[in-house]
Amino acid sequence: MACGRVGLTVDVLLVEDDVALGDVMAVHLAAEGLRVRRADDGEDALAACAARLPDLVVLDVMLPKRSGLEVCAALRALYHPSPGVVMVTARDTELDMVLGLEVGADDYILKPFRPRELVARVRALIRRLGRISTSISVPAPALAPDPSVVRGELRIDVGARRVTVGDRLLRLTPTEFELLLLLARAPARAWSRKELLENVFDSTHEGYSRNVDSHVMRLRKKIENAGLSPAPITTVHGTGYRFEGG
């Protein structure tokens, strides 16, 4: 994707109860060529998603009626595939950040933030979504045909974006799918957190390494809950992670 505007087919739901801040965020997202809808509480956010599921949700944690954490968890439970989620949380509330990742947020941004930082995080997630969705008009590099990746009982159907363990379907977020695919395509290769940030999260900011760890933890849990235990993603101490088995 170029450094300018992204495709107009990308639909973003902005959920922020601070009207002034939401106005600023909406202006900068719309300037990127995004279609921006607004919701100012958790119940309105879920209703907006039920009316038309967005490609991406920018979701504040502290919301009236239902918190951003509840909304994110509901989106992951109700929709498969579900939209990308960028969680917005206060800089002095690290627990919210951790909980947001645990309930399925793809990324997070800490208040206070500059509009260009928000745009950068949204752009990065859109690039990720563009690799796995035909509804988002974001240029993606051409890949050689790769209909499936099979590692023992684990099967990744790349074309359908479907992952199964035996006959059990894994309900993965867009980021979890991308992370698993990268690791499984290169079994036994040790990936550093920095490499995973660059290749999966489209980020070079090592301060986001917690994002990698949280996604790996959640991915392992889903694989093990599907019956493959221990999960074939192992920790390489001092480096990062690798996929075990061919």
Lowest-confidence region among 61-70, 89-98, 192-201: 89-98
- Per-residue confidence (pLDDT) for residue 207, from 0 to 100: 59
Pick the CATH number of 148-243 from 3.40.50.620, 3.30.450.20, 2.40.50.140, 1.10.10.10: 1.10.10.10
> Looking at the whole model, is its pTM more than 0.85?
no
What is the C-alpha to C-alpha distance for residues 151 and 229, in angstroms, rounded to an integer? 14
Pick the CATH number of 11-130 from 3.40.50.2300, 3.50.50.60, 2.40.50.140, 3.30.70.120: 3.40.50.2300
- Give 127: exposed, middle or buried? Use CB within 10 Å, 0-12, 13-18, 19+: middle
DSSP state of 102: H
How large is the average pLDDT for residues 30-58? 95
Mind listing the pLDDT tens digit for each residue in 139-183? 444 444 457 888 999 999 887 888 999 999 998 888 888 899 999
Q: Is the pLDDT of residue 132 over 50?
A: no
DSSP state of 62: S
Q: Is the pLDDT of residue 219 over 90?
A: yes
- Per-residue confidence (pLDDT) for residue 205, from 0 to 100: 62
108 strand-pairing partners: 87
